[in-house]
Chain A
């Protein structure tokens, strides 16, 4: 009796993973397809990968995407971490309404954020004499990234033992040293998690970028979207495959590091208890 549900649950799990990864698998397979077709397999080729790197359009939009995502993730992580610490030290009466306001952009439709940022940039731009471009794109990405970082750092702060900071300061730390040596290491997993979320949100984003990028730069998702009239080139399969592998590698590195750290801590604890 006990074995049955186990088999069923395994099949169920396998189906879920199949559902999640079959599209990506097919995309990877078709990035090696000799013809442009997305349904007819006509032989193995690496042409799309070589063509990809000579396609200035895709490469320049890829650099824009990665540049924006990396800078926006870093800036948003710094700003979001400080904001989270600020929230954490606030009185509850203020914290709850402000947190609710922080959550609104997360739930808000992208299109509303995009259009409102576009309007702001256009109206400010005519006064300050600048045009939409990489700068406005970056500001927009930082803006929608910050709430995600706050949401991922705040729980770690709540888990942290408040006495640790007091103890550190009792033992002679200045506030900044306590912050740097105690708080930051304690909430590091939350910070890294927040940065990863911010980074992937930025890479994904289409709608907000579409409204804020102006006429000089274009992100990868915008380039792909514009291809849909003619036909999406298999070069896109190739670049998506590379992006997927890159993210996979990043996740593996982070996970391995985490596991190692946990093992180290466990060893330390067992040593101490002996």
Chain B
């Protein structure tokens, strides 16, 4: 009996060795991206062109990605976090400098996305996609002209209001309405925003993330803040929906491709980044994801195919963009204050 068990065990070890063995010997690149944030056929095409195998996995939030990187369990070669997370990773020394001689397509990226505050020297990241946050509301249910974040706190729309279900975005909306910066480090301003969101409880229907699609499309709710690209998807299902950039200004985000420190396939990672920057790949990604690509040519070509309404939303004027802010990394004590206040709001 013991012999048989030993044989079984040996067989098991052998199989495991085989499984882990064959995956390390080939040329590969491990990519970590947001869920539903790519035209997946591009991965196959990259594999065919270069012979490099792409191991693709996905995350839901910058924070989830950060914790995975920190535990050291995963070995990624390309990650695509957002602006403020990139500045945090840079400040903690968790990113590699890129070798731009391997990324010639970097020249195709629109200059207005280069060297932004989160990566002032532009050595660590290549912009991937960008977008803005605005107010989406149902014209049939809200007859008034809406141009301010104030509508989210208006008791006339009690029970029809939705709000972001994460602390940074929710506080961002409140801070903007109060006329403060998204990146304020003044605790008094944060407390003020906290009071505002707390008081919103009386008129708010729910905190939501992707549930906002269904709630706005079906008319279960009438107004909420979300991303411009997603509004165009909702519009297809409910033509009554309208989008505005609130006059107080709003949040703009940039998601960019980076290479984490100690990546084992850095060259392949740079080839992958270069591939994703090409105009063709950018166009196809924009078509699937619905956000604005950082590639200038692709953006222009895509804009030419849109009607004026969609164009104004996906490619806002410089005037509107001037009134936007990008999230920056905050000092640890402010992040703790965010967590503390958010828990108080949610409980």
A and B interact? yes
The answer to whether A226 and B60 touch (CB under 8 A), given A39-B217, A75-B12, A232-B210, is: yes
The 8 Å CB contact of B1, one of A132, A175, A222, is A175
A57: chain B residues within 8 A (beta carbon): 40, 56, 58
CB pair B20 A135 closer than 8 Å: yes
Which of A98-106, A147-155, A212-220 faces chain B?
Answer: A212-220
The answer to whether A35 and B60 touch (CB under 8 A), given A122-B72, A228-B210, is: no
The CA-CA distance from A260 to B75 in the complex, in Å, is 52
The 8 Å CB contact of A215, one of B20, B32, B36, B237, is B32
Contact with B along A55-95 (1 / 0, CB 8 A): 11100000000000000000100100010000000000000
The 8 Å CB contact of B71, one of A56, A118, A134, A222, is A118
Q: What DSSP secondary structure best describes chain B's contact surface?
A: mixed
A10 within 8 A of B: no
A42 within 8 A of B: yes
CB pair B37 A230 closer than 8 Å: yes
Chain A's nearest CB lies how many Å from the CB of B161?
A: 18
CB pair B73 A121 closer than 8 Å: yes
Contact with A along B208-242 (1 / 0, CB 8 A): 01100110011010000000001001001110000
CB pair B75 A214 closer than 8 Å: yes
CB pair A229 B73 closer than 8 Å: no
The 8 Å CB contact of A229, one of B23, B32, B40, B60, is B60
Closest to B47 in A: A56
The CA-CA distance from A231 to B20 in the complex, in Å, is 33
Chain B's nearest CB lies how many Å from the CB of A114?
A: 10
The CA-CA distance from A227 to B210 in the complex, in Å, is 9
B304: chain A residues within 8 A (beta carbon): none
CB pair B40 A226 closer than 8 Å: no
CB pair B213 A231 closer than 8 Å: yes
A133 within 8 A of B: yes
A211 within 8 A of B: yes
B8 within 8 A of A: yes
CB pair B73 A132 closer than 8 Å: yes
The answer to whether A42 and B237 touch (CB under 8 A), given A134-B19, A228-B60, is: yes
The answer to whether A132 and B214 touch (CB under 8 A), given A35-B236, A56-B40, A222-B57, is: no
The CA-CA distance from A130 to B59 in the complex, in Å, is 23
B30 within 8 A of A: yes
The answer to whether A40 and B217 touch (CB under 8 A), given A223-B58, A230-B230, is: yes
B72: chain A residues within 8 A (beta carbon): 122
Chain B's nearest CB lies how many Å from the CB of A184?
A: 14
B1: chain A residues within 8 A (beta carbon): 175-176
CB pair A227 B20 closer than 8 Å: no
Closest to A71 in B: B15
B61: chain A residues within 8 A (beta carbon): 229
Contact with A along B32-49 (1 / 0, CB 8 A): 101111001101100000
The 8 Å CB contact of B40, one of A37, A55, A176, A214, is A55
CB pair A226 B16 closer than 8 Å: no
Chain A's nearest CB lies how many Å from the CB of B327?
A: 15
The CA-CA distance from A40 to B215 in the complex, in Å, is 10
Chain B's nearest CB lies how many Å from the CB of A76?
A: 11
Which positions 56-76 of chain B face chain A at CB distance < 8 Å? 56-61, 71-76
- 30 interchain pairs, CB-CB under 8 A: A35-B237, A38-B214, A39-B218, A42-B237, A56-B41, A56-B43, A57-B56, A78-B8, A130-B24, A131-B24, A132-B75, A133-B20, A135-B16, A176-B1, A211-B71, A214-B74, A215-B75, A215-B76, A217-B57, A218-B57, A222-B58, A223-B58, A226-B34, A226-B36, A229-B35, A229-B61, A230-B210, A230-B230, A231-B210, A231-B213
For the A-B complex with A118-B71, A138-B19 known, give 5 more contacts whose Cβ atoms are closer than 8 Å.
Answer: A78-B8, A175-B1, A223-B58, A227-B58, A229-B210
